[in-house]
């Protein structure tokens, strides 16, 4: 039997299927450009010899319903013939679970209604997630479906960390507070770190750094998130590919007064034209590192600013936690850029963090330790796998629900 993990975006659907018994990936794919004449599906499946086989198809797809049907059709048609035949459950990535969802939830009408009510908090993401849920419920009515929330892992933050210093009315009436995102990734790498270190997660203090195009840091105390850098929205915190991260909130008003542009436009600039792209015109860290090496001053500044911001958060979360067992790097940049890891950890020996530069720059996959022997704090590189974590939680939640029924 299979578990399907679905990440439904506004014009794309990403999916992965896992073998129920082993939770190993069996097929995965991405359908892009939904709503156009040339929607492209890239479907990959593991053939019996253990090699990935790829199918590429282009056809007009007008909406998500057609999109999911197309995916199910291509999957069923591929060689095993029954790839989607027996589906144990579907796990949906849902960006915002507000305060309502502290854990993954079986999707019934009430849960779906609650996710829809949260749309004002995540207007860019939750609507597409809701569409994906509705379509999959229609297409596979007998298969249990589970929502796994990006915010849920951070629901353990104490009030001193999640409140903003604003009139209390805004929290009470509009839910204005820190929620945090990337929770599935922070939770996955925290669990993987505990297994790697051979210690119970409930006894570990970790600083987890998810550094990708979107980036966030989390302070994990005894396995629970006690603070994280993203806030009401994913705009706060670290410098990202195109998002500013922390800035003085007065910048918005100043810009509005100076440029006369409406707040909607300024919001767009902060989300889509800022961060690394705003500083140097590029949002791809590989490209930035290459240009910085060639002497491009703006690229160098973007790189330095990115690493300096991460370092400041390590310091802040070290203080919040008191003692730290390990710092974990993950995400496209965290996993692959030795230079970012090196610059970020530079000068942290006073905190007991020192990198072994040979281990750091060694080309290796999988989980690895990159600290020196003297380093009090372990420094780990752990490839994240949000889809796997969603599949694991989906199986757990469905198992529990079935257990309760019996
Ligand atoms: P997303 O948040 O979209 O999932 P990823 O986690 O895939 O993004 O991270 C994308 C980022 O990772 C890009 O900035 C990319 O340049 C960076 N990256 C990937 N490989 C490397 C590498 N070898 N060195 C530096 N940066 C890298």
Same domain, 142 and 231: no
Task: Compute the distance from residue 212 Cα to the ligand 1 centre, in Å.
Answer: 5
Residue 16's pLDDT is: 96
| Exposure letters 115-153 (e unless 16+ CB within 10 A, then b) | beebeebbeebbebbbbbbbbbbeebeebbbbbbbbbbb
CA-closest candidate to residue 210, choices 89, 310, 99: 310
332 CB near ligand 1 (under 6 Å): yes
Specify the number of domains making up the chain.
2
Instruction: Looking at the CA of residue 283, tell me the nearest atom of ligand 1.
Output: 14
Distances in Å between the Cα of 44 and the Cα atoms of 105, 121, 132, 178 are 28, 34, 20, 37
Same domain, 144 and 284: no
- DSSP-derived pairing of the beta strands 13-19 and 205-211: unpaired
- Asked which of 149, 180, 213 is the last residue of a domain, the reply is 149
285 CB near ligand 1 (under 6 Å): yes
80 CB near ligand 1 (under 6 Å): no
Residue 84's pLDDT is: 52
Task: Compute the distance from residue 214 Cα to the ligand 1 centre, in Å.
Answer: 9
Report if residue 242 sits inside a domain: yes
Same domain, 47 and 132: yes
89 CB near ligand 1 (under 6 Å): no
Same domain, 23 and 125: yes
Same domain, 100 and 240: no
pLDDT one-digit tens code per residue, 107-120:
999 999 999 999 99
Q: Whose CA is nearest to atom 7 of ligand 1?
A: 332
CA-closest candidate to residue 272, choices 298, 234, 311: 234
Instruction: Looking at the CA of residue 340, tell me the nearest atom of ligand 1.
Output: 25
- Does 83 score more than 60 pLDDT? no
- Does 198 score more than 70 pLDDT? yes
Residue 80's pLDDT is: 54
Same domain, 243 and 342: yes
What does the block give as tokens for 260? 């006369």
- Does 86 score more than 90 pLDDT? no
9 CB near ligand 1 (under 6 Å): no
150 given a catalytic annotation = yes
Task: Compute the distance from residue 143 Cα to the ligand 1 centre, in Å.
Answer: 35
Task: Compute the distance from residue 337 Cα to the ligand 1 centre, in Å.
Answer: 8
Same domain, 127 and 229: no
Q: Is 99 helix (H, G, I), strand (E, B) or coil?
A: coil
Report if residue 86 sits inside a domain: yes
76 versus 153: which is more confidently predicted? 153
Task: Compute the distance from residue 286 Cα to the ligand 1 centre, in Å.
Answer: 7
Same domain, 205 and 85: no
pLDDT one-digit tens code per residue, 284-333:
999 999 999 999 999 999 999 999 999 999 999 999 999 999 999 999 99
- Asked which of 117, 149, 181 is the last residue of a domain, the reply is 149
339 CB near ligand 1 (under 6 Å): no
Report if residue 271 sits inside a domain: yes
Report if residue 163 sits inside a domain: no
Report if residue 335 sits inside a domain: yes
- DSSP-derived pairing of the beta strands 87-94 and 378-381: unpaired
Task: Compute the distance from residue 363 Cα to the ligand 1 centre, in Å.
Answer: 16
pLDDT one-digit tens code per residue, 174-184:
999 999 999 99
Report if residue 55 sits inside a domain: yes
331 CB near ligand 1 (under 6 Å): yes
- Interatomic CA distance for residues 331 and 182, integer angstroms: 10
284 CB near ligand 1 (under 6 Å): yes
- Asked which of 129, 149, 169 is the last residue of a domain, the reply is 149
Same domain, 142 and 207: no
Residue 78's pLDDT is: 59
Model confidence band, residue 20 (pLDDT cutoffs 50, 70, 90): very high
Weakest-pLDDT range from 50-54, 74-78, 169-173: 74-78
Q: Whose CA is nearest to atom 21 of ligand 1?
A: 336
Report if residue 395 sits inside a domain: no
- Interatomic CA distance for residues 278 and 267, integer angstroms: 14
213 CB near ligand 1 (under 6 Å): yes
What does the block give as tokens for 7? 């990440």
Instruction: Looking at the CA of residue 215, tell me the nearest atom of ligand 1.
Output: 2
286 CB near ligand 1 (under 6 Å): yes
- The domain that holds 94 is classified in CATH as 3.30.420.40
Single out the catalytic residue among 38, 108, 150, 246: 150
Task: Compute the distance from residue 303 Cα to the ligand 1 centre, in Å.
Answer: 13
pLDDT one-digit tens code per residue, 249-275:
999 999 999 999 999 999 999 999 999
* C-beta separation of 151 from 231 below 8 A: no
Q: Please give the model's pTM, rounded to 2 decimal places.
A: 0.94
Q: Whose CA is nearest to atom 13 of ligand 1?
A: 284
**Over the chain, what is the mean pLDDT?**
95
- Candidates 299, 333, 340, 387: which one to mutate for ligand 1, based on the most atoms within 8 Å of Cβ? 333
Same domain, 22 and 139: yes
Task: Compute the distance from residue 211 Cα to the ligand 1 centre, in Å.
Answer: 8
Overall average pLDDT of the 87-111 stretch: 96
Report if residue 184 sits inside a domain: no
- Interatomic CA distance for residues 309 and 328, integer angstroms: 16
- Please give the share of the chain, as a percent, with pLDDT higher than 90: 92
Domain encompassing residue 215: 198-386
Same domain, 236 and 305: yes
Same domain, 342 and 217: yes
């Amino acid at each position: 039997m299979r578990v399907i993990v679905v990440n439904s975006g506004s014009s794309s659907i990403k999916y992965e299927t896992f073998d129920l018994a082993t939770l190993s990936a069996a097929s995965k794919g991405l359908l892009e450009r939904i709503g156009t004449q040339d929607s492209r599906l890239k479907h990959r499946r593991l053939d019996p010899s253990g090699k990935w086989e790829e199918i590429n198809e282009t056809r007009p797809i007008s909406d998500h319903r057609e999109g999911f049907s197309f995916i199910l059709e291509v999957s069923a048609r591929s060689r095993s013939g029954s790839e989607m035949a027996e589906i144990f459950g579907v796990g949906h990535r849902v960006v915002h679970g507000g305060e309502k969802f502290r854990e993954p939830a079986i999707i019934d009408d009430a849960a779906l209604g609650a996710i829809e009510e949260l749309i004002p908090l995540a207007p860019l993401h939750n609507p597409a997630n809701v569409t994906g849920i509705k379509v999959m419920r229609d297409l596979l009515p007998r298969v249990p479906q589970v929502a796994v929330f990006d915010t849920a892992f951070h629901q353990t933050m104490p009030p001193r960390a999640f409140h903003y210093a604003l009139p209390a009315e805004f929290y009470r009436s509009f839910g204005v507070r820190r929620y945090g995102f990337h929770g599935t990734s922070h939770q996955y790498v925290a669990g993987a770190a505990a297994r790697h270190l051979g210690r119970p997660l409930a006894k570990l203090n970790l600083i987890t750094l998810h550094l990708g195009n979107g980036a966030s840091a989390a302070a994990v105390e005894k396995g629970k998130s006690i603070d994280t850098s993203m806030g009401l929205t994913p705009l706060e915190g670290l410098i990202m590919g195109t998002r500013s991260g922390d800035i003085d909130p007065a910048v918005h008003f100043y810009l509005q007064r100076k440029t006369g542009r409406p707040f909607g436009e300024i919001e767009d600039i902060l989300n889509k034209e800022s961060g690394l792209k705003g500083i140097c015109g590029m949002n791809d860290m590989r490209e930035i590192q290459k240009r910085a090496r060639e002497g491009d001053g703006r690229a160098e500044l973007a790189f330095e600013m990115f690493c300096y911001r991460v370092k400041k958060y390590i310091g802040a979360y070290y203080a919040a936690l008191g003692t730290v067992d390990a710092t974990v790097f993950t995400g496209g940049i965290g996993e692959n850029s030795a230079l970012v890891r090196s610059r970020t950890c530079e000068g942290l020996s006073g905190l007991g963090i020192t990198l072994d530069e040979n281990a750091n720059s060694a080309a290796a996959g999988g989980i690895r330790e990159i600290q020196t022997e003297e380093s009090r704090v372990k420094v780990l590189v752990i490839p994240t796998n949000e889809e796997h974590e969603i599949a694991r939680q989906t199986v757990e939640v469905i198992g529990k629900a079935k257990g309760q029924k019996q």
